[in-house]
Amino acid sequence: MPDPILEIRDLHAATAGKEILRGLNLTVRAGEVQAIMGPNASGKSTLAYVLAGREGYEVTAGTVRYEGKDLLIMPPEERAREGLFLAFQYPIEIPGMTTLHFLKAALNTIRKHRGLEELDAIDFLALVKERAHLLDVDADFLNRPVNAGFSGGEKKRNEILQMAFLDPKLAILDETDSGLDIDALKIVARGVNVMRSQDRAMLLITHYQRLLNFVVPDYVHVLLNGRIVKSGGKELALTVEERGYGWLEEPHARISEEKTAP
């Protein structure tokens, strides 16, 4: 069995003074695709942000090891350079910076960190086009400002393209499937399937199981009230789809103000 890429032990995290994650455990190994499902406010996005190192999320207890190293002491850029990638649930718009410029700055920083030469304009463009083609994404948005004026689907496609481009060891997709029509969903799924490899781990965070119609995960976990309450194979996703999350609730642990999915 390969060494774990990600090992989360008893993770507690809070944002805005409120504890969201309450003792989360998870191990992800190279080659695996794991899905984390959960209703609104279960802690899905908090987990994604804690792993990526966003400000405003405070880890109060527990450890996260990434390739054996302490992830939590690394600034966000170092995590990215070490191969962690977060596809944002709400990708940020950067008016004034072209997608091409953005990708180039990111890629060359990461290449430098890996001891590779920076790509010149021509090689860079060739690589972008190759990846765009691989994912069946139209490359015409490259000259548009990053995500500015993009539709929801276009933004998510841009995230997938960035993932393919930066070649991460651990990709975390935070509700990348939310709000997509079936065509956009297929593009995202294609991206995940194309990128799936023995050297890479992927963590799909999702509210619905429909992405899992196109991507077959190795494991499915259900996150509820900041804790993983159930783990299983791909069939768990179907059970959740059928029965919702209610049957997994521990009545004594349920926080009244938290909303559960229908």
Partner 1 sequence: MKDIGLVTDLYRSELSRFERQVAGTTPAWMQQLRQAAGARFADLGFPTTHHEEWTHTDVTSIVEIPFTPAGRRPDIAKAELESVVSWVGPVHQLTFVNGHFSSSLSSLKLLPHGVIAESLADSCTIVPNLLEPHLGRYAQHKDHAFVALNTAFLKDGAFIYLPPKMVVEEPILVMFVSCPNGKATISHPRVLIVAGPSSRAAVLESYVGLKDDLYFTNAVTELVLGEEAELDHHLLQQESQAAYHIATLAVHQGRRSRFTSHSLAIGSALDRSEVRALLADEGITCTLRGVYAATGRQHVDIHTRIEHAKPRCMSQQLYKGILSGHASGVFNGRILVRQDAHKTDARQTNNNLLLSEHAAIHTTPQLEIFADDVKCTHGATVGQLDRDVLFYLRSRGIDLENARRLMTHVFGGELIRLITHEMIRNRFTELLSQWTSHTYSESLTA
Q: Which residues bind partner 1 (CB under 8 A)?
A: 52-55, 75-77, 79-81, 85-86, 88, 91-92, 94-97, 102, 105-106, 109-110, 113, 162, 166
Q: What is the DSSP letter of 116?
A: P
Q: What is the DSSP letter of 13?
A: E
Closest CA to 43 of 174, 180, 189: 174
Nearer to partner 1, 39 or 53 (CB): 53
Q: How many C-beta atoms lie closer than 10 Å to residue 1's C-beta?
A: 6
Closest separation in Å from C-beta 118 to partner 1: 13
Closest separation in Å from C-beta 139 to partner 1: 18
Amino acid at 17: G
Cβ neighbors of 34 (< 8 A, separation 6 or more) are 26, 28, 201, 202, 203, 204, 217, 218, 219, 220, 221
Closest separation in Å from C-beta 166 to partner 1: 7
Nearer to partner 1, 120 or 181 (CB): 120
Nearer to partner 1, 55 or 140 (CB): 55
Nearer to partner 1, 85 or 245 (CB): 85
Nearer to partner 1, 29 or 54 (CB): 54
- CA torsion 179-183-189-193 (nearest 10°) is -170
Closest separation in Å from C-beta 98 to partner 1: 9
Closest separation in Å from C-beta 112 to partner 1: 9
